[in-house]
């Protein structure tokens, strides 16, 4: 049951980040400034779902790992630390600043530079979370473990 909850929390977190990223890219590329502003505000609202999902993912993952050791467990933990740092140091502050600037109608070079940084950081977190999902499925026996991974654990 704990593993299913962990997977569900992780899927919700990944879906939130991917939705934020795609919504930002689509609004910037194809829609007007009013839509960009709406997306920035919606992302802030979505943090009420993302932050607890990320915390629950990390907590349940830590609990599942328990005394278990091995390359996949260690790699997943290291990736989650990068995801958390990226979220706390780049993505969350960027979301607040970009929403504030969008609400003020400030769509200048600084806005687009920060927007680019946010998109890069979001893409990095999506990649790291997808890799963690893959490795979680391997740990659960739902995906085959690569031969080199199996050899490295010996």
Residue % of the chain over a pLDDT of 70: 94
* Predicted local confidence at residue 153, as pLDDT: 53
The pLDDT value given to residue 34: 96
Quickly state the pLDDT bin for 152 (edges 50, 70, 90).
Answer: low
Residue 52 has pLDDT above 80, yes or no: yes
Instruction: Classify each residue of 105-133 as buried b or exposed e, where b means 16 or more C-beta atoms within 10 Å of its C-beta.
Output: eeeeeebeebbeebbebbeebbebbeebb
Give residue 150's pLDDT: 52
Tokens 């630390």 found at: 81
Long-range CB contact pairs, 98-106, < 8 A, 24+: 98/40, 99/37, 99/40, 99/41, 99/43, 99/44, 102/33, 102/36, 102/37, 102/40, 102/41, 103/37, 103/40, 103/41, 105/33
Non-local CB neighbours of 50 within 8 Å, separated by 6+ positions: 13, 16, 17, 20
pLDDT value for 147: 61
Where does 2-153 sit in CATH, by number?
1.20.120
Q: Tell me what percent of the residues of the chain surpass a pLDDT of 90.
A: 66
Assess whether pLDDT exceeds 90 at residue 66.
no
Return the pLDDT at 127.
96
What's the whole-model pTM score? 0.85
| Average pLDDT score over residue span 7-24 | 94
| Token pair belonging to 145 | 């473990």
Domain extents in the chain:
2-153
């Amino acid at each position: 049951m704990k593993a299913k909850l962990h997977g569900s929390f992780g899927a919700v977190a990944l879906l939130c980040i991917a939705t934020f990223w795609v919504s930002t890219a689509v609004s910037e590329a194809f829609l007007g400034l009013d839509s960009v502003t709406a997306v920035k505000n919606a992302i802030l609202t979505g943090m009420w779902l993302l932050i607890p999902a990320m915390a629950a993912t990390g907590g349940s993952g830590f609990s599942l790992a328990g005394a278990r050791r091995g390359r996949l467990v260690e790699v997943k933990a290291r990736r989650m630390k990068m995801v958390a740092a990226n979220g706390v140091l780049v993505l969350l502050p960027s979301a607040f600043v970009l929403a504030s600037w969008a609400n003020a109608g400030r769509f200048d070079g600084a806005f687009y530079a920060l927007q680019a940084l946010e998109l890069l950081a979001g893409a990095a977190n999506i990649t790291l979370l997808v890799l963690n999902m893959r490795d979680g499925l391997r740990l659960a026996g739902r995906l085959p473990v690569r031969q080199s991974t199996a050899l490295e654990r010996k």
